[in-house]
Chains A and B, each alone.
Chain A
Amino acid sequence: MKNMLSKINRKDALTLGVLVAMFLVFFVVLSTGMASNQLKNMIIPMSYYILLAISLNLMVGVLGELSLGHAGFMSVGAYVGCYVAVTLVEKYPSMPLAAYLPIAMVIGGLAAAAFGVIIGIPALRVKGDYLAIVTLAFGEIVRTLVQNMSVFGGALGLDTGDIRPKNTALTLLPFTAAVVILSAILIMNLVRSKHGRSIMAIRDNRIAAEACGINVNFYKVAVFGISAFFAGVAGVLYGHNFTIIKPETFGFNMSIEILVMVVLGGMGSNMLGSVVAAVVLTVLPEILRDFQDYRMLIYSVMLVLIMLFTSAPAFAGIRERLSLGFIKEKLTAKKKAKKKSKEGDGA
């Protein structure tokens, strides 16, 4: 753990800086009462969407497997975690938020992780499009099961009014900030570690990775579990922010919304994009009320256009000319040429 926290990549440091700065601003505006009601209601959703986006990016961008059931993992976390919290508060009414929220998060996260591992096992046999459908099927199964479970309130939903703190945004903010920042550090360091490189090797070429002695099965299941864990924690946050959790909230639409964030932010090992996209896509629809009706329409067009632009072979030339790497290369080309000629002299 200490080792995990001590080494931070430069790119990740920027992401972390953005997160810390963002939460500091939130804290200041909330505690001084400067925040409008609109902003107040956005802060916690923004945070759990960040968590959802980076955890999905771990699966889609780093492992390269599409998950269409991320909302399903979130729903498992939300229901199990909040159920635990509600039960705790019922039994010990004087229990403070600082006690039951972390317990709920750990249990909710672990429950989601268990489901992640269960879904990760078929992932060993199937891949690509098939796996995407398995995750989709999983999301639907979870939603249907929860709707039929009277423990969780069935279709009416689970009442979380008792565990939702008063002055919700400000009270939840320190916990939220801590969880999001800690999760971001853990995920980013995982990606930069030896394990992360193994996972990316699996993404780039599974067979070659296997031939290099990377345990593909282990890493696939592990990523499913880890990604689901953080989605579950996000679900617990969600449950504490609202007075009720309903099964239909965590439908396919929400999974797609998270996917749009990941795609817009850029799939891959850099998490900053996911963070920014999560914030922007949570704030924009709230600010532009008229935008609400067109939201999913614009998201869908965005998905298609981004995919066409980033991966159509026909646009490869334009992409290259626009990329930062290309510009950098041009600038450094001269230097390299000089260096090479020098090395040549030495030899």
Chain B
Amino acid sequence: MQVSMNINGEPVTADIEARKLLVHFIREDAGLRGTHWGCDTSNCGTCTVWVDGEAVKSCTVLAAQADGHEVRTVEGLEGADGLDPVQQGFIECHGLQCGFCTPGMLMTARWFLDRNPSPTKDEIREAISGQICRCTGYKNIVDAIHWAAEHPRTNEVTA
């Protein structure tokens, strides 16, 4: 079946099997490898992207379901003014070691901060409770998101 969607503002069209998961469409058909494909079971959250402004686990959404919708991936975080504060926060606070979980952490963090701009650290921990990091113990990730909360973004949201 033919599927078309906007990813980070760019139209992407491909002829795919109906069973194809959104994460594989993003990586294989759109060629955007920033979104990682992890546990395959909706647990780890590294495949998190936005569909119509809502953070979702793209291993548990069919690409067909995103047909005609707006998708935003980690590649769409950086704006004309440079890195999004959540990206900068992960640099400032050393919010990653191997980096595998990072794209999902970043997309969830930005979605969360847009809805709750001044969270407590407990609220940040709850917000990322659907993301798994096997390196850091989460402390630096929570610090990074907290850093971002104190540095509001200036970039326009693309989707």
Q: Does B associate with A? A: no
- Residues of B that sit less than 8 Å from A by CB: none
Q: Which residues of A contact B (CB under 8 A)?
A: none
